């Protein structure tokens, strides 16, 4: 399973990349705003800064909601850097834009996926990735993992190349469950990625090894 980080924070992206396990980055307008990145030029420059840290796909989201606007914005984003993947919302105009970008060889990430029907449409349009929002489904008492499992079956039935990018991942168990059911990619916060490494028995065991070494090597 590929690991993407879901942030626009350059320090966190660098920290995750330096771990050696980071395959890509996802952003969205809320994450950009959280870092105080505003204004068209600053936003475009920030995407380039992210692409210069990570050698892998970087999702950059369009703001337009009409086909022409999405095409205009998406082409501008894709021209910024070879790593850019154009993130398109799951709306009917978005489906048309995904089809257009697929015909031009521009990679897309279809975002705001909350149902299997949406995932099927995005794959038929030729999306490179689809982003089912796991955490936000869990927030409304709906099983996000079950949705990803359903999409896995559908994509495997028809050998769709579209990759399932589990998004809105909040904690390490989300990552484990995504890996168990065969999500192609997960995107989550640095805290969830680093939490995978933690176990109290590891800490205790290491403490003991170091203490025993110190005893024998005074």
Which residues are annotated as catalytic? 87
92: left (phi over 0), alpha (psi -120 to 50) or beta: alpha
User: Which 3 state secondary structure label does DSSP give 67?
Assistant: helix
> Measured from the CB atom, is 59 or 212 closer to ligand G3P?
59
Using alpha carbons, list the distances in angstroms from residue 50 to 26, 27, 46, 174, 188.
10, 10, 6, 25, 16
State how far the Cα of 164 lies from the Cα of 27, in Å rounded to an integer.
16
Q: What residues make contact with ligand G3P under the rule CB under 6 A?
A: 6, 26, 28, 133, 135-136, 167-168, 187
Q: How far is the CB of 26 from ligand G3P (least distance, A)?
A: 5
Min dist. Cβ of residue 129 to ligand G3P (A):
11
Among all chains, which residue has been given the structure tokens 């994450």?
A: 31
Report the residue number, 121 or 185, with the smaller CB distance to ligand G3P: 185
Rank residues 6 and 73 by Cβ distance to ligand G3P and give the closer one: 6
- Smallest separation (angstroms) from ligand G3P to the CB of 87: 8
Question: Phi-psi category of 197—alpha, beta or left, where left has phi over 0 and alpha has psi -120 to 50?
Answer: alpha
In the complex, the smallest distance separating the C-beta of residue 101 from ligand G3P, rounded to whole angstroms, is 19
Burial class (CB in 10 A: 0-12, 13-18, 19+), 88: buried
């Amino acid at each position: 399973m590929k690991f993407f980080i879901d942030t626009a924070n350059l320090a966190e992206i660098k920290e995750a990349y330096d771990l050696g396990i980071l395959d890509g980055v996802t952003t969205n307008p809320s994450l950009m705003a959280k870092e105080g990145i505003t204004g068209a030029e600053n936003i475009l420059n920030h995407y380039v800064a992210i692409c210069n840290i990570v050698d892998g796909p970087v999702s950059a989201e369009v703001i337009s909601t009409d086909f022409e606007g999405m095409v205009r914005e998406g082409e501008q984003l894709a021209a910024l850097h070879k790593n850019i993947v154009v993130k398109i919302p799951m709306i009917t105009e978005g489906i048309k834009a995904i089809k257009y970008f697929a015909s031009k060889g521009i990679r897309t990430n279809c975002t705001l996926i909350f149902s299997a029907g949406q995932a099927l449409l995005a794959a038929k349009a030729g999306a490179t990735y689809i982003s089912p929002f796991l955490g936000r489904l869990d927030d409304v008492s709906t099983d996000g993992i079950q949705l990803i499992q359903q999409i896995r079956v559908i994509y495997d039935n028809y050998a769709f190349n579209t990759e399932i990018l589990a998004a809105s991942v909040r904690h390490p168990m989300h990552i484990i469950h995504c890996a168990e059911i065969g999500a192609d990619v997960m995107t989550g916060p640095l805290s969830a990625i680093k939490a995978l490494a933690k176990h109290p028995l590891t800490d205790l065991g290491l403490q003991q090894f170091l203490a025993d070494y110190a005893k024998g090597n005074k």
